[in-house]
Structure 1
Amino acid sequence: MASILISPNKYIQGKGELHHIHEHIGHLGKSFLFIADEFVQGITKNIIENSFAKTDASIVFETFRGECSKQEIERIKKVALENKVEAVVGVGGGKTLDTIKAVGYYTQLPTVVVPTIASTDAPCSALSVIYTEDGVFEEYLILPKNPDIVLVDTQIVANAPARLLAAGIGDALATYVEARACYEANKTPMAGGSITRAAIGLAELCQKILFEDGVKAYLAVQRKTVTKAVENVVEANTYLSGIGFESGGLAAAHAIHNGFTVLEDVHSLLHGEKVAFGTVTQLVLENRSMDEIERMIRMNISVGLPVTLEQMGITENVEEKIWKVAEAACAEGETIHNMPFKVTPDDVYAAILAADSIGKRYVK
C-alpha cells in the first residue's frame, strides 16, 4: 500500500497579511465570492475591499448563516453559480471554512480559506464536517483535494478572544495522540494509503510546540499581541494539526467529541473544548501512563480547557447522558474504530467517567 501525505497548495501566515490578500490570491481568477458571518465581515470586509480596490477583479460578499449544513452549502453554491465567480473564499471560523471547502468541491472552483481564529485544524484539510441545522454532527465529507490557499493573518487571530486560541490548542493536542493510535493500528487515514513517518513527525512537532509555547501564546493573545509564541501556536493549531490529523488519522478523541454533540448541555462549548476532554478520555481508554494523562490535564487547565464533566455543563442525570455519548461515539463508521483494539460503548462509558474522576483531582 502506498504511503500518502496531503496538504494545501500554499500556506501563508503572518501579521497583517490580510491587507495583501489580492496579491496572494489574485492569480486564481477575476471574480471572487467571499463568505463570512456578519461579525467577521465587520472586521475584514474593508480590508479585503481595499486590497482589491486598484485591481480589475470583482468581489461579491455573502453572509454565512452559522452552520455547516447541507442546506447552507447548497445555498452558498447557488450564490457562486449565479454570480459566475471564478474562485470562492471563506473568511472566519471552522464552520465557515468547512462550508466554503464543500462549495468549492461542488462548483469545482479554486478555494481559499482565511481563518480569523485559530480554534480548529479545519483550514488546511480536505474535509468538511457536516452538521444538521440544529448543530448535531451528521457526517464527514471527504474532499478530493485540500484548499488551494490558506491565508492566516496572525494579528486578526490575536484580536479574537483568547478562549478561541485555547480551543484550537485543545483540538491540536489530540493530533499526535490520535495519529499515534492509528499508526499503531496500521489504519488508513483520511488522506488514504498508509501513514507516513512525516505525518507522525508533524503531529509530534505539533504537540511539542503546544506544550512549549501554548501557555505563553494564550497569555499574549489575552493582551491581543502577536509574539513568536503566538506565531508558533497558530502554525501548530492550523497547519501542523491539519496535516497531522488528516494524514495521520483520527481515533477516539474526535469520536468522543462527536458523541458529546448529542447532548444539549454542551452545545455552548467550542469544538476544541469538547475534543480536549475526548483526548484525556482516549488516554484513559488506552491505559497510558499516569504521567502522560496528568501532563495533558495540566495543559488543559493552564489554558482554560475543561477537564471534568461539570466544567462541560453536564451536572444532572450524568450516567444516563454519558451512556448516550458512548453509544454515539461507537456508531458505525466512527473514527473510534481506528483504535488498535476493539472499543465498545461500555469501554467509552467507563473511560469518560474515569477521566472525569481524574480531572476532579486537579480542579480547585
Structure 2
Amino acid sequence: MANIIISPSRYVQGQGELKNLSGYVSKMGKSMLILISEGGNKRIGPMVEESFQGTGIAVTFDVFGGECCETEINRLREVVAKNKCDCVIGVGGGKILDTAKAVAYYEKTPVVICPTIASTDAPCSAISVIYTDDGVFERYLFLPQNPNLVVVDSSIIAAAPARLLVAGMGDALATYFEARATKASRSDTCAGGKVTSAAMALARLCYDTLMSEGVKAKIAMEAGVCTEAVEKIIEANTYLSGIGFESGGLAGAHAIHNGLTCIKECHHLYHGEKVAFGTLTQLVLENAPEDEIEEVVSFCIEVGLPVTFAQMGIKKVDKSKLMEAATLACGEGDTLRNMPLEVSPEKVCAAMIAADAIGRYFME
C-alpha cells in the first residue's frame, strides 16, 4: 500500500476574502447554488450576493435544513437539477460544508467551501459525515477528491463567538494523536493509503500551534479582534487539522465522539467539544505518559474544553448509557480499529470513566 497525502486544490485565507468570491469561482460555471443558514444569510448573504453583481453568474441561495442527512442532501440535489447549477458553494459551519460536498459529489459539480467559523476541520476534507435526521452519527461518506477551492475569510471567523474557535481547537487537538496511533498500527488513512511523513509533520505542527497560540487566540477573540494568533489558530483548525486528520488518519478520539452522539445530554455540544473529551479518552485507552495527559488536560481547562462528564452535561452517570456509547464507538466501520491495541466496548467505557476522573482531579 502506498503512502498518500491529499488536499484541496486551492486554499485561500485572509481578512475580507469573501468579497472576492466571484473572482475565485468565475471559471467554475455560470450558475451557482449557495447553501447557507438563515442566520448566515442575514449576516453575510448580501456581501456574497454583491460579489456576484455584474459578473453574469446566476446565484441561487438556499437555506440549510439543519442536518447533514440523506433527506437534506436529496432535497438539495433537486434544487441543483432544477436550477441547472454548475457549482455548489457551501457558506457556514461544518454540517453545511459537509452537505455541500455531498451534494456536489452526487451531482458531479465542483464544490467551493467558505467556512464562517473555525469550529471543525471539515472545510478541506474529502469526507462528509452523514447523520440521521435526528442528529445521530450514521456513516462517513468518502469522496473521490477534496474541495476545488476553500476560501476562509478570517475577519468573519473572528467575529463569531470565541466558543466556536475553541471547539475547533478541540477538533484539531485530536489530529496529532490520531495520526500517531494510525501510523503505529500501520492502518490506512482516509486518503486511502499509509501515513506520509508530510502528514505527520502537519499534524505535529497543528498540535504545537494549539499549545503556543491557543490561549492567546481565545483571549483575542473574546476581545473582538483578529490578531496573528487568531490567524494561526484558524489555519491550524481548518487546514493543518484538515490535512493532518485526513492523510494522517482517524483513530480513537473521533470514534468516541461518534459514540457520544447517542447520549442526549451531549447533543448541545459542538463536534470539537466532544472530540476533545474523546482525545483524553484515547490517551487513557493507550496509557499515554502522564506528562502528555497533563498537558492536554491543562490546555483543555485553560481554553474551556470539557474534560468531565459534568461539563458535557452528563450530571448523573448512567453506566449503561456509557456502554451504549462505547459500543457505538467500537462499531464496524468506525475508526477505533486504527488504534495500535486491542479495543472493546468494556475498555472504551472504562477509559471514558477514567478520563472523567482525571479531568475532575486536575480541576480541583
TM-score if structure 2 supplies the norm length?
Answer: 0.99
Tell me the C-alpha RMSD between the 2 structures: 0.8
Q: Which moved more, 1:218-227 or 1:236-245?
A: 218-227
The 2-side partners of 1:317 and 1:243 are apart by 36
* Residue number in structure 2 paired with 1:133: 133
The 1-side partners of 2:215 and 2:317 are apart by 34
Cα offset for 1:54?
2.1
Q: Which moved more, 1:295-304 or 1:319-328?
A: 319-328
* Residue number in structure 2 paired with 1:156: 156
Counterpart code for 1:320: S
Cα offset for 1:43?
1.2
The 2-side partners of 1:17 and 1:282 are apart by 37
The 2-side partners of 1:97 and 1:129 are apart by 10
1:320 correspondence with 2:320: yes
Deviations 1:184-224 (A, max 9, x none): 01000010111110011100000010110011111111122
SS in 2 for 1:4: coil
Contact conserved, 2:10 with 2:150, CA < 8 A, in 1?
A: yes
1:270 correspondence with 2:282: no
The 2-side partners of 1:283 and 1:2 are apart by 28
The 2-side partners of 1:32 and 1:333 are apart by 34
The 2-side partners of 1:193 and 1:270 are apart by 29
Cα offset for 1:82?
0.6
1:165 correspondence with 2:165: yes
The 1-side partners of 2:89 and 2:60 are apart by 10
* Residue number in structure 2 paired with 1:342: 342
Counterpart code for 1:185: S
How many residues align? The count is: 364
* Residue number in structure 1 paired with 2:109: 109
Cα offset for 1:349?
0.9
The 2-side partners of 1:66 and 1:350 are apart by 34
Counterpart code for 2:167: A
* Residue number in structure 2 paired with 1:143: 143
* Residue number in structure 1 paired with 2:234: 234
Contact conserved, 2:7 with 2:125, CA < 8 A, in 1?
A: yes
Q: Which runs of 5+ in 2 are unaligned?
A: none
* Residue number in structure 1 paired with 2:77: 77
Contact conserved, 2:309 with 2:317, CA < 8 A, in 1?
A: no
* Residue number in structure 1 paired with 2:190: 190
* Residue number in structure 1 paired with 2:284: 284
Counterpart code for 1:242: G
Deviations 1:260-283 (A, max 9, x none): 000101000000000000000000
* Residue number in structure 1 paired with 2:93: 93
* Residue number in structure 2 paired with 1:247: 247
Deviations 1:45-70 (A, max 9, x none): 11011111121111110010110000
SS in 2 for 1:194: coil
The 1-side partners of 2:154 and 2:310 are apart by 33
The 1-side partners of 2:302 and 2:26 are apart by 41
Cα offset for 1:348?
0.4
* Residue number in structure 2 paired with 1:295: 295
Cα offset for 1:320?
2.0
Deviations 1:296-349 (A, max 9, x none): 011111111101001111122432221111111111111001001110011101
SS in 2 for 1:46: helix
The 1-side partners of 2:194 and 2:260 are apart by 29
Deviations 1:121-167 (A, max 9, x none): 00000000000010000000000000000000001101111000000
Cα offset for 1:363?
2.0
Cα offset for 1:362?
2.0
* Residue number in structure 1 paired with 2:179: 179
Q: Which runs of 5+ in 1 are unaligned?
A: none
* Residue number in structure 2 paired with 1:24: 24
* Residue number in structure 1 paired with 2:4: 4
The 2-side partners of 1:304 and 1:25 are apart by 37
The 2-side partners of 1:150 and 1:201 are apart by 21
Counterpart code for 2:263: L
Q: Which runs of 4+ in 1 moved over 3 A?
A: none
Cα offset for 1:30?
1.2
SS in 2 for 1:33: strand
TM-score if structure 1 supplies the norm length?
Answer: 0.99
SS in 2 for 1:353: helix
The 2-side partners of 1:142 and 1:360 are apart by 37
The 2-side partners of 1:132 and 1:222 are apart by 34
Deviations 1:47-104 (A, max 9, x none): 0111111211111100101100000001011101110011110000000000000001
The 2-side partners of 1:286 and 1:318 are apart by 24
Counterpart code for 1:135: G
Counterpart code for 1:44: I
